[in-house]
Amino acid sequence: MWRIIKKIFLVVFIVHAGWFLFFVFTNFSDAYAIKDVKWQLLAAVVAVILFAAIYFFRLRKIKIVKNITWRLWHLFLTAYIIFFFYFLLGFIFNAPITLTQVGSLVKGYGLKRDYISYSNMGPNIKLAVIASEDQLFPDHDGFDLKAIKLAMKYNKRHPGKPQRGGSTISQQTAKNIFLFQGGGFLRKGPEVFFTFTLETGWSKKLILERYLNIAEMGPGIFGVQAAAKAYFNKDAKDLTRAEAAQIAACLPNPKKYSVKPLSSYVAGRAGSIVRQMNNLAGDADVQELIK
């Protein structure tokens, strides 16, 4: 039975990987800011093909190399099957646990969370997060190439200041569910793959719901319901625009940017977010998304 499952998922993986590579090389062709990711990905594909050829014609005759390669391949395929079922599980359930949440427990911050449905979140926190993190979220296919370019340029010009990111809500959801914080290219490469998968399979509302339930919004505080209770002693659906903006303002670094007590950064950033919320409120696509 397990052999049949692995054979089926080998075909699924080949189709999935081929579709992903087609997406990357057709959509990222003019993306200067992430051209390194594209070419590093190409280099990785070429390296895999070369190794496969060398292995087939030479290395498989060496018993120890054959055994190691076989074990690594089966480990990879098993990991892909687990990821795929975790992805399918996400259609119905929020992530049971994430690496970020585990890290919070290990570091002594604890774990406060209360997963709620999309309808119980209310429109204000949805609008605040879109205004703060990803204003093109209703329209893009998972990646905001313009935002990535601007972030890269800013970081080069201001090396001593806090670095800006160009990650979309979709990318942050993929990172939070399947991956870990930090890690550079070791994380960014898989993040692109997982983001593509989420955008291909999940709706925008589902992606936003999962993000709002699992994102860290304070030391050991995960999700909008836990944040609303911790900071304002109310349900997420009852948050005002100003309160929702304060929670959204801490997202870039929730352990550093405090909502309670209110840090100067969050206070200033929240005012800007409220103005952006007012600007976005009349957008038909945004209104449809935050219902």
**Model confidence at 37: pLDDT above 70:** no
Angle at 22 between CA 179 and CA 94, to 5 degrees: 30
- What pLDDT sits at residue 35? 54
Angle between helices 169-178 and 185-201 (to 10 degrees): 110
- The ranges assigned to domains in the chain are 2-89, 99-289
Write down the pTM of the prediction: 0.87
What integer pLDDT is reported at residue 107 of this predicted model? 93
CATH fold of the domain at 99-289? Penicillin binding protein transpeptidase fold (1.10.3810)
Residue 201 pLDDT level (bands cut at 50, 70, 90): very high
Residue 54's pLDDT is what? 80
pLDDT in tens, 155-165: 666 566 555 56
pLDDT at 21: 85
Q: CA–CA separation, 289 vs 98, rounded Å?
A: 25
Q: What are phi and psi of 279, to 5 degrees?
A: -70, -35
